Amino acid sequence: MSYLKISNIDWSIEDTGFGDRMRSWTNAYILNKLNNFKFTILVDGHRWRETRYLDFPYTKTENHDFDEEITSGVDYEVGIIGQIKLKDKSFENRIKKLVEDRVGIHIRHWPNVDFDPRPDKVERFNYTDKMKLVREILDRYPNSKFYISSNVTYDKPAMGPCLPEFRKESHWISQVYKDYDVVDYRNILELGDILPNVVQDTNNPMWSKVLDDEGFCINTIRYDKKEHKIGLNEIEEMVILRNIIDVFGLIYSKEFISSSKTGPHSSWSEFVEIYRKKL
């Protein structure tokens, strides 16, 4: 069997690179189509854990890192990414029900690097002006309810909690939750039984991480087999589910406000915009 192998695009649990990886998958799909679908698209099962929940046509997983293979380089195509479907229809219906009467908005953090070429609406780390802009955009939809997908915290980009509870007053965006009718991924993803917790570090199994109720590591201690029942992989699984809820929450919202309205362009927002054209 012949394969088209896809890169992991610098995957990390803080930033899984979902949008960029979807570009790579689109690239592979186009190549496969040009060759009458004689290939199977091959991805790293650990880094592409979305495949457990999403159906990618002509795709299989293998536990191997393919960082030197096909990378991104094409735009999304609605006829291609629109074929990516949620496997669990009950799960899909829960997302649809949550957002069917809501406006979805993607509010992204500033880029990871200081000198990013993409234009931005607000000076880097000017949280006051960014909040003013967010409110201005939301107020264009009077009496509306919202679904928010965001990664903006007071932490540096990709350094904050992996499962944030944005309703907490310590979060910049909590003001929005107080003043508007807002839901997010935590209205579907139940985390009370898994966080806070002490989890074995899968990458360093002699040690465990002490995680708070947002999945943020607050300490590292010696692994105790009797006390530390779960591994870091289970927390990472929740992050993958969060991402899936977020992207489809935005896709199935009645209207969508992309990240470019309140900050820099993002491949995540672009994916949602293109996918929505198929609905």
Instruction: Domain ranges for the chain, please list them.
Output: 2-87, 90-190+233-276
- C-beta of residue 11 within 8 angstroms of C-beta of residue 108: no
**Nearest C-alpha neighbor of 266 from the set 115, 109, 96:** 109
d(CA 137, CA 106): 11
- C-beta of residue 40 within 8 angstroms of C-beta of residue 58: yes
Beta-carbon contacts of 121 under 8 Å, excluding residues fewer than 6 positions away, are 130, 133, 260, 261, 262, 263, 264
pLDDT at 74: 64
Going through the chain in order, the beta strands assigned E by DSSP cover 2-5, 39-44, 54-55, 59-62, 85-86, 102-107, 145-150, 181-183, 197-200, 207-211, 217-222, 230-231, 255-257
- Along the 279 residues of the chain, how does pLDDT read in single tens digits? 688 888 777 677 778 888 888 888 998 999 999 999 999 999 998 889 999 999 999 999 988 766 555 555 567 888 999 999 999 999 999 999 999 999 999 999 988 777 778 778 899 999 999 999 999 999 999 999 999 999 999 998 888 899 999 999 999 999 999 999 999 999 999 999 999 999 999 889 999 999 999 999 999 999 998 888 888 889 999 999 999 999 999 999 999 999 999 998 898 999 999 999 988
pLDDT at 47: 87
Per-residue DSSP letter, 70:
B
For the domain 90-190+233-276, what is the CATH code? 3.40.50
CA angle 57, 47, 65 (to 5 degrees): 95
pLDDT at 217: 93
pLDDT at 144: 98
pLDDT at 71: 52
Beta-carbon contacts of 138 under 8 Å, excluding residues fewer than 6 positions away, are 105, 144, 146, 176, 180
Where do we find the tokens 């362009």? 265
